Amino acid sequence: MNAPFPSTPGVSDSDPRLPLQLMIAAPRGFCAGVDRAIEIVERALQKYGAPVYVRHEIVHNRYVVDSLKAKGAVFVEELDEVPDDAPVVFSAHGVPKTVPAEAERRKMLYVDATCPLVSKVHRQAERQIEKGQHILFIGHAGHPEVIGTMGQVPEGRITLVETVEDVARLEFGPDDDLSYLSQTTLSVDDTREIIGALEARFPQIVAPKAEDICYATSNRQAAVKDIAGSCDLVLVIGAPNSSNSLRLVEVAERLGTDARLIQRADEIDPSWLEGVGTIGLTAGASAPEKLVREVVDRLSDWRQVEEQVVTSAEENMVFKLPRQLTD
């Protein structure tokens, strides 16, 4: 008589699925700015009734946007798509000064859901311009936050820098009064390299009083660093136009771990699990926890999942709502 196969720890003898270690990063998912922006739209719907218009996606997540659409939010690209008598919310990414100015000219009811940490960068930009400095802004061209921040200052007073190579092409000299700022959702490591290149080429450049990359972006990248080295694959839940989510993929890949960006669990290809014993899981700052659990359930369809939450930082940040929605 043949001896039975030894049991696999954590797997029932009657369960044919292979075990899968799932390391779930913490913190992950919604940050305080995203929580605040979503609540602003929901409170505006409660206070003013549907429809409430939202200029651009309130946050970069299709699930969130579709959920708010179902409640009566209408998403548009520009203010000229909004009737004069309808309330409008500006997205968490921030907007150029021309947008609220146009809303005021039209006597529109608007609510600004710009993340307070993005607004802080806007105020720093204004102060640097007041001091006569030309701003070198580190960010990604076309991103709503970049458009919003560059739109805080007069044209020609701010220059976008995307890479270390861009620094070498700048046409400023040692006598130019320069300062720098950065987008809040960048790679911590990439931004550090660009700042190093700026400071090496322009020793006179003035740094912001505090780092511009937000706490949530830094924390989520650090959390991925803590797990990626122990994983065969890292899954990042987020939208393809979400800067902070894309950076999480890059962080894992820099550590030599395969990483994939997904929006929902149904995008997971079971072939990705072939030869994989440990998966890391995280979510960008615009992705709700519901989508994390959805992914865990999907993986459990194919494998015997053993979850382990790896916490690298605790977050308790809360941002106040605009007074017009709380009075």
- CA 280 to mean position of chain CA atoms: 18
Are 89 and 52 a contacting pair, CB within 8 Å?
A: yes
Q: Which of 145, 165, 267, 274 is catalytic?
A: 145
Are the CB atoms for 203 and 141 separated by under 8 Å? no
Structure tokens at 187: 């790679």
Contact 21, 277 (CB under 8 A): yes
Radius of gyration from C-alpha coordinates of the chain: 23
Token pair in block for residue 63:
């699930």
250 is catalytic: no
CA distance 251 to 247: 6
H helical segments located in 238-302: 243-254, 289-302
Whether the link from the prior residue into 51 is cis, omega within 30° of 0, is yes
Q: Are 234 and 228 in contact (CB under 8 A)?
A: yes
Q: What is the DSSP letter of 206?
A: B
Active-site positions read 145
